[in-house]
Structure 1
Amino acid sequence: MMTFKDKTLEAFIAFWLLLFVALFSAVTLACAWYFAWLTWQVVLSMCVMLCCYTYAIAYFRQRILLSFHRALLHIESIKQEDYKQYAKPAFPLGVVGKFHQHLRELSEELSIKKQRYDQHAFLVYQLIDQLETPVMVINQKDQLSYANGAFSLLYDGQPWQRYRNASLKLLGLLKVDNTWQLLTNKQQINQQWQISHSIFIDAGRTYQLLIFTNIESTIRNSQDKAWRQMVNVMGHEIRNSLTPVSSIAESLSARATNQRDQDALALISERCMSLQNFINRYASLTKEVNLHYEQVFAKQLAQQVKGLFEQRALHVTVKSGWIWADRSILEQVLINLVKNALEAGAETVDLVLSEDNHNTVIKVVDDGHGFANEENLFVPLFTTKQEGQGIGLSFCRNVIEQHNGSISLVNNPTHGVTVTITIPLKSAK
């Protein structure tokens, strides 16, 4: 059975030393009484010896416990990840010295491992910074600890430093049953972003790593792939049918003597040619455009577009010096947008060119009737015009994104549409 003296080293040492002193004193007193030496001089001498023994016991106990206290200080430094603090052993040699030597080797090993871990963590954070998708690090207090540059995509272009230590409520993040969701206007769930999360430990603290994936981009890539496959099949079948039909129509037209028959065959041949051109145009939408970047003076570009619509109410405002883009293709995009606005019943169209955060921002604002179905604006072949082909906006988005930019269309609160184009001032290629 374990007694008090066996539970701690201090009690163990004190018990056996005091027991030794008590036995020694008892034997000495017994001998003095037996041999009649018990005088006041003997008693005084025994008291002095007892004091010396007590001091020796205390010193002996202190020296033994000092080794453990210094080892505890060393271990406390290790717990605080301070691997350069070493405790001087009370006994440099023997088992105590060996024990402290092992502690020193442990500190050096942990120091090397920490350096490697810090290097890996630094590389991880560098990798996070290079990602084009938003990444957040949430600390134990459910506050924003770190994020990458793509964080601005979630919060209207704002840098993550402005939201440092912000709460989940301020960030618009909702955690339900270990599932994270991003809220729009703090009420509706933003379906555009899918959030993946994982847990990691840094410096003994637990963090949540949130990775935001743009689902719309993934869905759009799948749609584009499906459209390309469909167009390839459709184009192949239509070309195989149009070629013999057009050839037969031309052959019959050359033999026909009736003007009515010639006109009908000419119409068939013309429609075959138009349908062939349509397939070729649509097939080119998803192809990479060979862009020729140059410094395009914004004022000159705006005036050229305005010159094409002199009889219409096109107002131009230029707040930008130049644009880094393919001049001819960007001009064609602006022409398409202004033309769409006028065909949508707009009486006035405002073309505004400005700069914001090292980007060129182009806005086309009209007062037309707007769009009834905003979700399908960029869907190929979708159009609200009776004679439209549904290619213009798809073409615009394709070439703007190949400029490493973005394009968005929204209905104005009253009437009309605002088209916003953002293009980097410097090419990312």
Structure 2
Amino acid sequence: MALIKSNSLEAFIVYKLSLVFISIAILVGLLAWQYGLALHWIILVVLSVFSCSFWYIMSFKQQVMRAYTRATLHVDAISQEDYNQFGRSAFPQGKVKAFHQQLKLLSEKLQQQKSHNDQHVYLVYQLIAQLDSPIIIFDENQRLEFGNDAFQHLFNQPWQMYRHASAELLGLQFTPNSWLLKDQSKQAKWQIRHSEFINEGETHQLLVFINIEPALRQSQLNAWQQIIRVLSHEIRNSLTPVSSMAETLADKATDKRDQQVLSVITERCLHLQSFVDRYSSLSRQLTINSQPISIKYLINEVITGLFKDKRIVLKSSLETIWADRELLEQVLINVVKNAFEAQATEILIEVEEQDQYIIMEICDNGHGFANINNLFVPLYTTKKNGQGIGLSFCRNIIEQHGGIMELHNNSQHGVTVMILLPNPQAH
């Protein structure tokens, strides 16, 4: 019986009440025996007492258990985050009523907390959607649940196209304490920061992709600037006296051949001086005067005016584009000139609006680039008489507009230059 007492409340109730009614039955039997009732009457009375006692015990236990059952249903509803279901108290007053009232207050408090959490989650998702860095959220099964608009900068498609896609399908791999991109070219460009959070009882993975290319490029640019400053100082210190002496000797020389030699020396000194001055423009901070520009004017009047005998096709869903007209003209002229120097016979320029950006793609059918990864490196050039400054300066212009400039070899022939510019009218 000791075990029964300690096992459950139901057993405890039956045990205690049974002791009480057994004692009563014995007393009733003794009283009947003292009054001289026949044995069969005594047995009948005792059995009657036992029957009534059993019915009372079961009824009492059922009433007590009903109070717990209703409370349990309420607790189950809370565990399922259903805060609109309330268990009705089996008693209108007393401790049981007070207990159900506390459960109700708990449900209302949890409902308020859930509402606040849902609002916070909604605000977080809205904030994520507005950020410029690609951000994705995986559910507990590592399947894509949400992404922001910048997702397409990394995967070239809106995130909705990959909804519920696995991390493996997206080319992502989870290693202890970190996420990696399987594509090495992307891995070299993007750094992944991740964290976990719980929403609606499930653990989610939040991945933020940080483009480290600008930081690396700035580091490279700083190194080139230092080299250029040192070279400029040394070259100028050497060129100035050499050029001055060459001019002086040329004025005094009587031999025509000597004059020609000294003239070449002076000319090369000036060329080297110009060379150094031009490379200093790579890091020059520009004054950007953005304004609405007619795309037809920009392409038809400027580009085709300089390349009249070339085929340039414009496809645009926009009338105007926001940029510094003179600087953007310089970029387009440089890009188109490079395309025709690469034996292109046709150039297609497409302009469209996408979310908060204006995207301009210049696609040619030339021979493309053999080493596209070094095209933006200062002093690097694939042209026989090139100086390696054009594309670097063009990207500098676009980035100072707050945009992005990328080059890609086409699958068959030619190159596609993508220029992405912020669109103030989209805000």
Q: Shorter-chain TM-score category? A: 0.7 to 0.9
- TM-score, structure 2 length as denominator? 0.84
In structure 1, the residue matched to 2:173 is 174
Partner of 2:141: 141
Does the alignment pair 1:350 with 2:342?
A: no
2:311 alignment partner, one of 306, 310, 315:
315
| Residue of structure 1 in register with 2:374 after alignment | 376
| Corresponding residue for residue 120 of structure 1 | 120
1:340 match: 338
| Counterpart code for 1:128 | I
Give SS of 1:149's match: coil
* 2:156 is the counterpart of 1:160: no
Q: The residue matched to 2:385 in structure 1 has which SS?
A: coil
Residue equivalent to 2:396: 398
Corresponding residue to 2:293 among 293, 296, 299? 296
Q: Is the 8 A contact 2:344 2:414 kept in 1?
A: no
CA contact (8 A) 1:197 1:211 kept: yes
CA displacement, residues 293-328 of structure 1 (integer Å, 9 cap, x when unaligned): 233333333233222233x4x102122233332222
Q: 2:134 touches 2:209 (CA, 8 Å); kept in 1?
A: yes
Structure 2 match to 1:64: 64
Cα offset for 1:382? 0.4
More displaced stretch, 288-297 vs 141-150: 288-297
Determine the structure 2 residue equivalent to 1:362.
361
Decide whether aligned partners of structure 1 residues 333 and 6 sit closer, same or farther in structure 2, where only a CA change above 3 A counts: same
Cα pair 2:250 2:263 within 8 Å, conserved: yes
Moved more, 9-18 or 350-359: 350-359
Measure how far apart 1:285 and its partner are.
Answer: 1.9
Q: Percent identity?
A: 47
**Could you say what secondary structure the match of 1:361 adopts?**
strand
Taking the TM superposition and a 5 Å limit, the aligned residue runs for 1:214-293 are: 214-250=211-247, 260-293=257-290
CA change 1:409–1:71 in 2 (3 A) is same
Q: 2:359 touches 2:418 (CA, 8 Å); kept in 1?
A: no
Match of 1:408 among 403, 406, 426: 406
Summarize deviations over 1:365-418 as a string: whole Å, max 9, x none. Answer: 143x43222111111110122321100111122222333443333344555444
Compute the TM-score of the two structures, normalised by the length of structure 1: 0.83
**1:209 match:** 206
Does structure 2 retain, via aligned residues, the 8 Å contact 1:360–1:425? no
Equivalent residue, structure 2, for 1:324:
322
The alpha-carbon distance between structure 1 residues 343 and 163, as it changes in their structure 2 partners (threshold 3 A), is closer
Deviating more after overlay: 334-343 vs 190-199: 190-199
- Listed one character per residue, the Cα deviations across residues 41-97 of structure 1 (whole Å, up to 9, x for unaligned) are 877766665554444433432333333223323322332233454444445665545
Measured in 2, the distance between the counterparts of 1:232 and 1:398 equals: 19
Task: Specify every segment of 5 or more residues in structure 1 that has no aligned partner in the other structure, as ranges.
Answer: none
8 Å CA contact retained: 1:403, 1:427 = no
Per-residue deviation, 1:288: 3.1
Is the contact between residue 133 and residue 213 of structure 1 (CA under 8 Å) also seen in structure 2? yes
Kept in 2: contact 1:298–1:318 (CA 8 A): no
Closer/same/farther in 2, CA of residues 347 and 170 from structure 1, 3 Å limit: closer
Q: Which residue of 2 aligns with 1:421?
A: 419
Distance between the aligned counterparts of 2:415 and 2:87, measured in 1?
74
Q: Label 1:152 to 1:415 Cα distance change in 2 as closer, same or farther (>3 A).
A: closer
Q: Are the equivalent residues in 2 in contact too, given 1:192–1:214 (CA < 8 A)? A: yes
Change (3 A) 1:297 1:160: same
**Alpha-carbon distance, 1:340 to partner:** 2.3
Would you say how many aligned residue pairs link Structure 1 and Structure 2? Answer: 422
Please report how far the alpha carbon of residue 24 of structure 1 lies from its aligned counterpart in structure 2 after TM superposition: 1.0
Distance 2:348 2:70 in 1: 77
**Structure 1 residues 339-369: Cα deviation after superposition (integer angstroms, max 9, x where no partner):** 223334x1624242342536342314143x4
Q: What is the DSSP-based 3-state SS (H/G/I as helix, E as strand, rest coil) of the residue aligned with 2:173?
A: strand
Residue 205 to residue 363, structure 1, CA distance change in 2 (3 Å): same
Give the whole-Å Cα distance in 2 for the aligned partners of 1:236 and 1:106: 76
For the 8 Å contact 1:323–1:360, the answer to whether it is kept is no
How far apart, in 2, do the equivalents of 1:134 and 1:329 lie?
29
CA contact 1:198–1:209 (8 Å) conserved in 2: yes
Measure the CA separation in 2 of the matches of 1:411 and 1:150: 23
Q: Is the 8 A contact 1:404 1:427 kept in 2?
A: no
| SS of equivalent to 1:285 | helix
Moved more, 414-423 or 122-131: 414-423
Q: CA-atom RMSD, angstroms?
A: 3.4
Offset of residue 12 of structure 1: 0.3
Alignment CA distance shift 1:80-1:347 (3 Å): closer
Counterpart among 292, 300, 304 of residue 306 in structure 1: 304
For residue 338 of structure 2, what is the amino acid of its counterpart? N
Change (3 A) 1:145 1:362: closer
Q: Equivalent residues in 2 for 1:175-194 (5 A)?
A: 175=174, 179-183=178-182, 191-194=188-191
Is 2:9 aligned against 1:13?
Answer: no
Distance across 2 between alignment mates of 1:413 and 1:55? 88
Amino acid aligned to 1:307: G
Correspondence 1:130 to 2:130: yes
Aligned mates of 1:341, 1:398 — CA distance in 2: 19
Contact 2:26/2:46 (8 A) holds in 1: no
Whole-angstrom CA distance in 2 between matches of 1:34 and 1:224: 116
Residues 188/283 of structure 1: CA separation in 2 closer, same or farther (3 Å cut): closer
Give the secondary-structure state (helix, strand or coil) at the position aligned to 1:323. strand
- Report matched runs for 1:83-122 at 5 Å: 83-90=83-90, 95-96=95-96, 99-100=99-100, 102-122=102-122
SS at match of 1:284: helix
